[in-house]
Amino acid sequence: MKKKITLKHIARELDVSISTVSKALKNSEEIGRDTKEKIQAFAKLYNYKPNNIAISLKNKRTKNIGVIVPDIVHYFFTTVVRGIEKYANAKGYNVIVCLSDESFDKEVINMEMLANGSIDGFIMSLSAGTEKNNDFNHLREVTEQGIPLVLFDRVTDEIACDKVVIDDVLGAYQATKKLIDEGRKKIALLTTEDFFSVSRSRNKGYMKALTDSGMEIKEEHILRLPFMDIDEDLISDFLSAVRPDAVLSVNEIFGIYGMRVLQRCGMRVPEDVSIIGFTDGLLAKHANPSLTSVAQHGEKMGETAAKMLIDRVESEDDDDASYRTTILEPTLIERDSTIG
């Protein structure tokens, strides 16, 4: 087993000082031609690579960024992580991924684990538990220590930091408008419990579109489902009662379930009922019929968040506390669950 070689080893072997080796390997002008070549050759031969940990300790820079997401099985978060990875890697950063599993406690624990020197900054999306608790002290502690933080998608006004979101109001507005323009009269909304910031925004867009078109907002056309453990019966009962001619879902999965329920009731999609979901994921793409969706551009969001974070990390002036919120434009991807 070839153990890792250190500067000390090289220095001993070549009978020079550690400092000389360090400088020689950085090609410092300070060191003479011969010595430099000798050291560099030796280092190459033994495949010397500096120890990241030692460098991190010295520089107080780890070149790691911490990403805390509620889940990684959901397509949207997956694409965001991929976007972060892509940008960060190109910049020489590693990505440490932690899953909060929608739990406030896990989110806190993960933050604390990483906040003690493991990372240069955080990118995160709030867990359901955190949004429910409305408790952001862990975020505050981190930012107060001067650790850069970028929130994406599920964000909060309580914390001053960089943020990147899509215009959820607009996305829902456009989707609803599209349904109205098709001539739909009874547009149901499948949404989540109210503590999710994104759902609130999407609800708002839905309502605004209705109002702008002179349509009435009927509370009985809105179904607020618990986020986890989807109960198909709830959706089924709701849709059977409402008998909508269009459905807007604030996520992908409710949309898929909704479509299936309606099809089972003998409704044809999109002839009898149009459906639009959020999150342009694999399910939407491969559903039958494919699901018209509001694309959240997760990968772009991830890249943007990573860029914002790394810019912040690498800028010396941390006093420049002019935090920015980047708002990405959603895109309505028209597929076969709506009429051309």
Is 26 a binding residue for a second copy by CB under 8 A? The answer is no
Using CB distances below 5 to 8 A depending on partner kind, what does residue 85 bind out of DNA, a second copy, none?
a second copy
Using CB distances below 5 to 8 A depending on partner kind, what does residue 25 bind out of a second copy, DNA, none?
DNA
Residues 283, 290: Cα–Cα separation, whole Å: 8
Nearest to 176 by CA among 215, 199, 200, 205: 205
Smallest separation (angstroms) from a second copy to the CB of 58:
10
Record the tokens describing residue 56, joined without a space: 């991190």
Is 40 a binding residue for DNA by CB under 7 A? The answer is no
Using CB distances below 5 to 8 A depending on partner kind, what does residue 256 bind out of DNA, a second copy, none?
a second copy
Return the number of the residue (113 or 241) whose C-beta is nearest a second copy.
113
Return the number of the residue (27 or 118) whose C-beta is nearest a second copy.
118
Cα 60 vs. chain centroid, distance in angstroms? 26
Residues 336, 327: Cα–Cα separation, whole Å: 28
- 45-104: contacts with DNA (CB under 7 A): 48-51, 53-55, 57-60
Using CB distances below 5 to 8 A depending on partner kind, what does residue 78 bind out of a second copy, DNA, none?
a second copy
Is 149 a binding residue for a second copy by CB under 8 A? The answer is no
Residue 214 sits at φ, ψ, to 5 deg, of 70, 20
124 and 149 Cβ atoms separated by less than 8 Å:
yes
Is 265 a binding residue for a second copy by CB under 8 A? The answer is no
Q: How far is CA 102 from CA 45, 62, 77, 81, 114, in A?
A: 49, 27, 12, 16, 18
Return the number of other C-beta atoms located less than 10 Å from residue 141's C-beta.
14
Is 140 a binding residue for a second copy by CB under 8 A? The answer is no
Q: Which residues contact 133 (CB under 8 A, 6 or more apart)?
A: 104
Interface with a second copy by CB under 8 A: which range of 76-84, 150-158, 161-169, 212-220? 76-84
Return the number of the residue (41 or 54) whose C-beta is nearest a second copy.
54
Q: What single letter denotes the amino acid at residue 3?
A: K
Cα 17 vs. chain centroid, distance in angstroms? 47
Binding site for DNA (CB under 7 A): 4, 6-8, 15-20, 22-23, 25-26, 30-36, 48-51, 53-55, 57-60
